[in-house]
């Protein structure tokens, strides 16, 4: 199964483990379209980290810990066309606030 277009938004809290965010995707079927916005995860005793394996996406706004390990696919999300007669989708169309 392919996991794509998952948005994490407005999340804050304290992590019990060093890896506060973990995107452990398959090498053969990578995750794509992961979007992080307004994330603030801390660790009571130490530094919080982000782990990525075969994960593509991007962050914007305030995101802590940093998600530099996500392989960027911001351009592919914003530049994708579904067919020649449709306009390019905007980022606003990709963001959902429901969980």
Q: Is the pTM here over 0.85, yes or no?
A: no
Helices assigned H by DSSP within 35-82: 74-79
SS3 content of the chain, % helix, strand, coil (to 5): 10, 45, 40
Domain ranges of the chain: 4-74
- 18 near 45, Cβ under 8 Å? no
For the chain, 99 residues long, give each residue's pLDDT as a single digit of tens: 788 999 999 999 999 999 999 999 999 999 999 999 999 999 989 899 999 999 999 999 999 999 999 977 665 444 443 334 444 344 554 444 443
Alpha carbons within 13 A on the beta-carbon side of 66: 3
Do residues 86 and 61 lie in contact, with contact meaning Cβ atoms separated by under 8 Å?
no
Q: What is the pLDDT of residue 17?
A: 94
Q: What is the pLDDT of residue 11?
A: 97
């Amino acid at each position: 199964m392919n996991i794509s277009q998952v948005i994490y938004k407005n999340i804050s809290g304290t992590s019990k483990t060093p890896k506060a965010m973990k995107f452990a995707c398959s090498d053969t079927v990578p995750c794509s379209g992961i979007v992080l916005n307004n994330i603030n995860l801390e660790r009571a005793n130490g530094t919080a980290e982000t782990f990525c394996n075969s994960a593509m996406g991007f962050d914007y706004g305030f995101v802590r810990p940093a998600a530099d390990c996500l392989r960027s696919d911001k351009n592919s999300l914003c530049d994708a066309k579904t067919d020649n007669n449709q306009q390019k989708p905007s980022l606003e169309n990709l963001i959902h606030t429901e969980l």
